[in-house]
Amino acid sequence: MRVIVFGADGYLGWPTSLHLSARGHDVIAADNLIRRRWDVLCGTESLVPIASMKRRVERWKALTGREIKWEKLDLTSLADTTALITQYQLEAVVHFAEQRSAPYSMISAQHAVETQVNNVVGTLNLLFALRESAPDCHLVKLGTMGEYGTPNIDIEEGFIDIEHNGRKDRLPFPKQPGSFYHLSKVHDSHNIMFTCRVWGIRATDLNQGVVYGTGIPETDMHGQLRTRFDYDDIWGTVLNRFCSQAAIGYPLTVYGEGGQTRGFLDIRDTVRCVELAMLNAPERGEFRVFNQFTEQFSVRELAERIKAARAHHGLETSIEHLPNPRTELEAHYYNAKHQHLLDLGLVPHKLEDSLIDRVIGLVERYKKRIRPELFVPRVDWRRGGTGDFGKPSARRRRVAVAPGIR
């Protein structure tokens, strides 16, 4: 299949591009490289050094003989997006190209607006471009389990059967997003569902849990093929943070009581889920929702697992509870369905099989690059950013951009 991966420079976009290329798909990798500029503005960086997109695609071709075509593109430009879609005869589009950090979206009004413009406008432009130039193309869009929030009922896969006043209907599952970032994803889902109904777009919304892992077999082939690994307070995930803290003897910082429960999956399962969705396209006009995760853990459970893994090697690790900077329930019911991708053939990796050899091993290799000051949460959901956000230094100011402008 010929497929464009939007957001191909990201943590998930780059491994997905390699995974699809390795399996014989004709891949076009597109990105506007804004993620690297956000690192500069936030004073953050990947624990693992990452190569430029130009070097990445060159190295991939040198090692495998397969070509990934690299296109620099900003989805907030409708004209450029339409031109790129028109250029290729596509069977599928994989859409990762969004600002994906909840803390970043909560820093200030500027960051909230930037997040929503980048994500909502970019997705709308892509939908219009598909309608005009590739109406039969299958859109595989990365959503988030965070759209649902933590309701006191089981979370279904996208839709729920309702009986009210003697009448029945099948309706979208209620949304309770927890940040301006998650809100942008809800808006995306509504816009995609609407265009499927009125234009006949075919789309799969992958509501993904928290991803962990250092990469996939293809990214392990060479240092220039590695994907990023974020552990800081803005871009890092909780498991990455815990592994990085343990590597340098820093306490594992649990926000609040640690009862917050979420769905998790290995990055190797992420790329497989995307391909499974892509290979099993919906009908014209059909909007599908798959819940994309494999296991559920609380934050406290993850901390205890990291502590136990370190103790297995004779290393002591402590756990410290911090005031929770987020507005969320400390303890709650959480039971989400995730059957559709298993039915399509997903064979999940388990956290216990991946944690020590892959995640902890890579962090140990690069632990001299860990900056402990990036563990401290700088964003409070109630007050916004508490660090030097929006006021870049003279060195950073050269790459600063106005919200929503790329």
Domain boundaries 2-381, corresponding CATH code: 3.40.50.720
Please tell me the distance from the alpha carbon of residue 222 to that of residue 53, in angstroms, as a whole number: 14
Please tell me the distance from the alpha carbon of residue 231 to that of residue 360, in angstroms, as a whole number: 12
pTM for this prediction? 0.94
Assign 310 a pLDDT band (cuts: 50, 70, 90).
confident
Residue 367, token pair as written in the block: 């632990």
3-state SS, 283-341, equals CCCCEEEEEECCEEEEHHHHHHHHHHHHHHCCCCCCEEEECCCCCCCCCCCCCECCCHH
For residue 114, CA distances in Å to 23, 84, 402 come to: 36, 23, 8
Provide the pLDDT for residue 397: 33
Residue 54, token pair as written in the block: 């130009």
Residues whose CB falls within 8 Å of the CB of residue 250, separated by 6 or more in sequence, listed in order: 244, 372, 375
Provide the pLDDT for residue 347: 97
Provide the pLDDT for residue 27: 98
Provide the pLDDT for residue 355: 73
Q: Which secondary structure element, helix H or strand E, spans residue 184, and what is its range? A: helix 180-199
| Angle subtended at Cα 387 by Cα 386 and Cα 389, rounded to the nearest 5 degrees | 110
pLDDT in tens, 27-78: 999 999 999 999 999 999 999 999 999 999 999 999 999 999 999 999 999 9
In one-letter notation, the amino acid at residue 145 is: M
Assign 390 a pLDDT band (cuts: 50, 70, 90).
very low
Instruction: Report, as residue numbers or ranges, the catalytic residues.
Output: 144, 181, 185
Question: Is the model's pLDDT at 360 over the cut of 90?
Answer: no
Q: What is the DSSP letter of 88?
A: S
Provide the pLDDT for residue 354: 76
> Smallest Cα–Cα separation from 53: which of 65, 41, 39, 35?
35
Place of tokens 């929702």: 289
Q: Which secondary structure element, helix H or strand E, spans residue 30, and what is its range? A: strand 26-31
In one-letter notation, the amino acid at residue 173 is: F
Question: Is the model's pLDDT at 401 over the cut of 70?
Answer: no
For residue 370, CA distances in Å to 213, 233, 250 come to: 17, 13, 11
Assign 346 a pLDDT band (cuts: 50, 70, 90).
very high
Provide the pLDDT for residue 263: 98
pLDDT in tens, 119-147: 999 999 999 999 999 999 999 999 999 99
Dihedral sign from CA coordinates of 350, 352, 355, 357: negative
Question: Is the model's pLDDT at 213 over the cut of 50?
Answer: yes
Q: What is the DSSP letter of 119?
A: I
Assign 359 a pLDDT band (cuts: 50, 70, 90).
confident
> Smallest Cα–Cα separation from 114: which of 146, 144, 76?
76
Please tell me the distance from the alpha carbon of residue 232 to that of residue 224, in angstroms, as a whole number: 22
Dihedral sign from CA coordinates of 76, 77, 80, 81: positive
Mark residue 315 as left, alpha or beta (left: phi above 0; alpha: psi -120 to 50; beta: remaining).
beta
